[in-house]
Structure 1
């Protein structure tokens, strides 16, 4: 039985912090603010089932019934039989035969109000389903349906999914960087001790022989990481050329590595990596020396952070960064999780699932990581904004690799065409739209969305309006005319040509062969 006083304090702190990717509040009431009444217990049970299945299929999480979205504790005014039914929803509202990885399902009293508290771990051996067979996951702060086959994970993947939550025999609080933990605790909730912080985030648990630490706690905060994980390191290999050669043609210029706990590793690896990104030093606009970078700094920082957070720590290898003349490859130990695909990641829709749920949770709470699933989208966006080739993702049974290229995303022919617009301050998105309209090609709405690599209507309106105001894009059909054209030609309105690119009149016009 958990220490109820400690658990109550932890739940109060969680309510104070608010909802997140890992935490959801559900009211037990419904109706107008001045006329609230109890919700049907059956509906609350459905909410419990959906939330806990979604958490189990993603990174685990907490559900509190009896709390409003604004963190107000309103309680559960239901009968004991209804409350018992809600507590049993962990069994009755999942697919028959499945058992959720429940940590807590408790009825507690906080601020003289009855609430229900559920905590569930990340699933490690199967995909969980609702009674009707549906599969749901956590996306941002929402529960959403997905199509995933009900599969059994490979034994190696199961071990890697469980690794950071396991308790470490012999590890004590004195083995950790207490000053770092206390600083993080102060930023989380003022007055929280280091020990309470570890418990609050699920990194430690009191037992009869004292505080037991998880592997996540040791990996994040160990003073001597070599004792616990010898390959908590990032290796940097600089190669002279575009491929690694051997023998007499061996072309490695330097081979260095840094190591430490995860917080140390994030800092040290970035300090070592940054010089490799420098292209040249030149005068900037304010007549000061500036270093120009061949890769966006933030994209590289995000890629390193993702590798450290999501690598397979059960695997004894370390992270490797190969710096070639034309690209930078970050190799992270461990295959991509079987519930994710390269296409899922390249869709850039914030789909996520963390191998190391506890580690990524702590990094997010301490604001080193942003919203879950945003990292890959941020990398792709930054590369596109800098007009560099799209990153390449690859996974085999041993490594997950992301490759960043330092070459322009535009061909030489396209770059020549864009020089016609050099007098204009164009965004990278606007350049892609102009390139899509080379050689007088008439552009439809679908063409423009494809060129922008987004379906966001606000971005479409903003970029099209800007190009039209600069007389670089001419409308050839109004919205009404496009509707009629689509009707008579039996095509989608979004595929009706609407615009053509206008080359500045003082520029030499030629036809560009598209390569």
Structure 2
């Protein structure tokens, strides 16, 4: 019986390490058979030391391919034309994608059978295999990135006197039983691919831009950095009742904390976009991707109903005492504004959820912004302005322009650079 190469048959005259690639390709597709000791043209050459070659193949399959594909692989010694050849039968695996350990879970390590060759799989094909095997839950899926470190996670766990051993990482869902990092592992790793984009605007719209940052790293680092950044811009206003002084922040710190936690724990990480934080003079907006989970209405969420999208991530945050209980975030934000003249708003649309925390002192801020807005808008087209620019923009004389500039300097809206005839003003 003649044997020829096909989509399900691969012929090798001698054993080479490349056989591992063929095993991976067959396991990732519909299975197949590899013959060693037969030329590409079907001529049987045989093997001089088949027992040794069988041991090499067995070791390579066991040690060089992940997840373990041994149970789907059968290695046989057969005789054809009085010559010894090796027949490797590979069944379609149930834990796709299989990959070469040394290359990792990426196109250079994942192969699929295509015609008579084994070709690298695309990233999209790898994602589809992962989703078909692991299910729809993003956090449970195996991560495409396996070279991960966990300095931030270890630091956070140590602060709370919690264990972060390999066994514990498996219990938390960071590692699979096959020692493969999940997407939850990717999120809490130092190499997390998602980010938070923070922007500050002068006024109540996006016309005048003041500052921008992108917060990266582990989601624990992102949470800490986001809170610190908002806190930096969260001004304090002092009020006096007779001799008693009371300090009040523009945004209640507990409300900011809950809004940030909600955005990180409940967003849809299958979307590659960033979580957005926009700070205006009258409000703080936090937009997370994904919206509420299917079947959960905004009204139900307002009542305290909860259905975590990322159950293991929420469980980890609960274990680390970052969240106290499920479904309490919105009510906590509301309680921070209790008896105040402004209230938080929550908006849910397909693909996104927005939390709007109003500035408690917004009315006072808006009056200030409106007065100086024509001058502030000059910075959209130029980095620096002069006194003459102010005179022309407001249609006033030198004295009035100087007074307005002094007011803006005192309110830390602008900063003076240079002196004399070279005096310029830039955004603070």
Give the TM-score normalised by the residue count of structure 1. 0.41
Rg: which structure is higher? Answer: 2
